[in-house]
A and B are shown apart, each in its own frame.
Chain A
Amino acid sequence: MDLVLTTFLKMAFMLAVILGLVPVLIWAERKGSAYIQDRTGPNRAGIAGIRLAGLIHPIADVLKLLFKEDVRPAGVHRVMYALAPFLVFFIALLTYAVIPFGDYLEVGGRRIPLVVADLDVGILYVLAIASLGTYGIVMGGWASNNKYTFLGAVRSTSQMISYEISMGLALMGLLLVSESLRLTDVVAGQGQLLWGFLPRWGVVIQPLGAILFMTAAFAETNRNPFDLPEGESELVSGYHLEYSSMKFALFFMAEYTNLVVASALIATLYFGGWNIPWLPRAVIEARAGGLLSLLLAAHVAICALAAALFLRRASRERGRFGDGRDREPGLMAGVSILLGLAGLAALALRPWEIGPAGASLLATVLQVGAFVGKVVFFCWFFIWVRWTLPRFRYDQLMHLGWKVMLPLALANLVVTAVVVALV
């Protein structure tokens, strides 16, 4: 019973994090691309003048998509057409089951491992599920009865086939090193230090593998520079061209969900997962009081700085718009001050005298935070790359996949195998 309950809670936590990240990512994509291109980006939608630098836009988008007419074009294969977006989204969510997002949570003396399903064959599961994603795309593209969607689907398949192999081979190298297919083992192995100072992260011991895996991950998620399946300039918008309303939204969300999956995988396999470098759990639990006090003090300082900045803007831009938007900086300053005061109040509760249970909890929270932070960074990295690089041409894509990445992955595997055998 407990197992079921905790599993459901862990699933709920993961779902909340992922689905909560999607609108933020959409916002980050729009705002980030705008700042890269010296534009302002979304800053219009607001609730009573509160715009949060465009964060309200995803809410407006969702509302719009919910109320849009669900157009089904003539000549579609009804079942597959309706099934495809759900399949894509569902498969995107499946991978999370095996990703450990923390070490363990200690509740009443019992340790709950922070992974939904700690499979023995975790990595194989990841590879299996990742290649399923293309089925939804192929179904959607074929069922739409449109040449553009169909071309997008075909491209997606060929791209998946080309990069799946390199991805798998790159992972093989990591498996040889970590000697386990279980993702928790892979992460735990990365918590040690190499030669006493270097974190034993996948990227350190398998740098080529990391690069190959990341590149393949970009290709598997259909993100720029590998977004040929949707290539607007050639295919209008690719496999989901004929979708509208929430069906389109599901494709859209699946894209970002896949992005989070890929980021989580990269973080888990090559960047230490939930490990905080040079700060193992034992150290955190030993120095919990000091750490917590330091964190709270930093929080108060950041809140004070934010409040000062918001107050400055409030005084500078007084009456700039002549509507609710003028209140925004003042309100944000107030929120910052309140948060700062909350931090101060927490400091007044003597955090340096924290007990062992609290220390364990703090360690878990920090580790989960580290994992989420790494995931968010790689999500941003995906966005960052998208707005920096141009899209590949189709022949370049194939050239890179078969004639560059595949030999490199093989070489990486052979070298790793030799080294592992010798050491």
Chain B
Amino acid sequence: MKGKVHGYGGKMTLGERLYLGEIFRGLGITIRHVIRNLLHTGDMPTVQYPEERRAYSPRFRGRHRLMKREDGTPRCVACMMCSTACPADCIHIVAEEHPDPAIEKAPASFEIDLLRCVYCGLCEEACPCDAIRMDTGIYDMAADSRAKFYVDKEFLLNNTTDGTR
């Protein structure tokens, strides 16, 4: 819609100050929208969300997942780089001794509070082992309690596209 935009403090003309004419002009604009949208229902920019989904970039940061080694154990070595980098303080790791001295350190527990997470991706950046990724593309999460958003190592290791837990 084209139209003249007045800056603040600009002088209004007499017609504009009478207000009534401008009201009808405004009503004209809105009714034009209504009629156009009534005649071309399909042209609306609204995305019909659950059925239609916007295509996100592959770099989109969704829910986290933990990568696995070939033997299925977590790649994470509990170095705490991610929890240190995390600005939301949402990653909680407890380390333990790994039986293999070549690996040495492993996470006894790895928990993320998804409700505190701000999805900034700094944990991915910080990880020296490429053990945490945010490439699942999952952004629609729903659960009926806060506790269910506090996800643990098993959940993050088997993170697929279904809902939370």
Interface residues of A (CB under 8 A from B): 32, 35-40, 211, 320-321, 384-385, 387-389
Contacts and interface: CB of A to CB of B under 8 A. Distances in A.
A387 B33 CA distance: 12
B33 A36 contact: yes
A39 B49 CA distance: 13
Given A211-B20, A321-B51, A36 B44 contact: no
Interface in B14-37: 20, 23, 26-27, 29-31, 33-34, 37
Interface in B32-79: 33-34, 37-38, 44-46, 48, 51
B30 A36 contact: yes
B23 A38 contact: no
A35 B51 contact: no
A36 B46 CA distance: 13
Contacts of B34: 32, 35-36
Interface residues of B, number: 16
Given A35-B38, A40-B46, A384 B20 contact: no
A388 B29 contact: yes
Contacts of B29: 388
Given A36-B34, A38-B44, A39-B44, 13 more contacts: A35-B33, A36-B30, A36-B33, A38-B33, A38-B37, A39-B46, A40-B48, A320-B51, A321-B51, A384-B30, A385-B23, A388-B26, A388-B30
Contacts of A35: 33-34, 37-38
Contact of A389 (B26, B37, B51): B26
B25 to A, nearest CB: 10
A388 B1 CA distance: 14
B26 A40 contact: no
A105 B64 CA distance: 72
Given A38-B45, A40-B44, A40-B46, A388 B23 contact: yes
Contacts of A37: 33
A384 B27 contact: yes
Contacts of B48: 40
11 contacts: A36-B30, A36-B33, A37-B33, A39-B44, A40-B46, A40-B48, A321-B51, A384-B30, A385-B27, A388-B27, A389-B26
Contacts of B26: 388-389
Binding site secondary structure of chain B: helix
The 8 closest A-B pairs by CB, nearest first: A40-B46, A35-B37, A35-B34, A388-B30, A388-B26, A36-B30, A36-B33, A388-B27
A211 B24 CA distance: 12
B39 to A, nearest CB: 11
Nearest to A321: B51
A35 B48 CA distance: 15
Contacts of A385: 23, 27
A390 to B, nearest CB: 10
A385 B20 CA distance: 12
A320 B48 CA distance: 11
A384 B23 contact: no
Nearest to B43: A38
Contacts of A40: 44, 46, 48
Nearest to A322: B51
A35 B27 CA distance: 13
Contacts of B44: 38-40
A384 B48 CA distance: 25
Contacts of B23: 385, 388-389
Contacts of A211: 20
Contacts of B37: 35, 38
Nearest to A386: B30
A40 to B, nearest CB: 4
Contacts of B33: 35-38
Nearest to A390: B26
A39 B20 CA distance: 27
Interface in B123-157: none
A378 to B, nearest CB: 13
B17 to A, nearest CB: 11
A38 B32 CA distance: 11
A211 B18 CA distance: 13
Contacts of A388: 23, 26-27, 29-30
A397 to B, nearest CB: 13
A150 B34 CA distance: 37
A35 B29 CA distance: 12
Nearest to A400: B19
A38 B23 CA distance: 20
Nearest to A43: B48
Nearest to B22: A389
Nearest to A387: B30
In this complex, the member of A32, A35, A321 whose beta carbon has the largest number of chain B beta carbons within 10 angstroms is A35
A392 to B, nearest CB: 11
B43 to A, nearest CB: 9
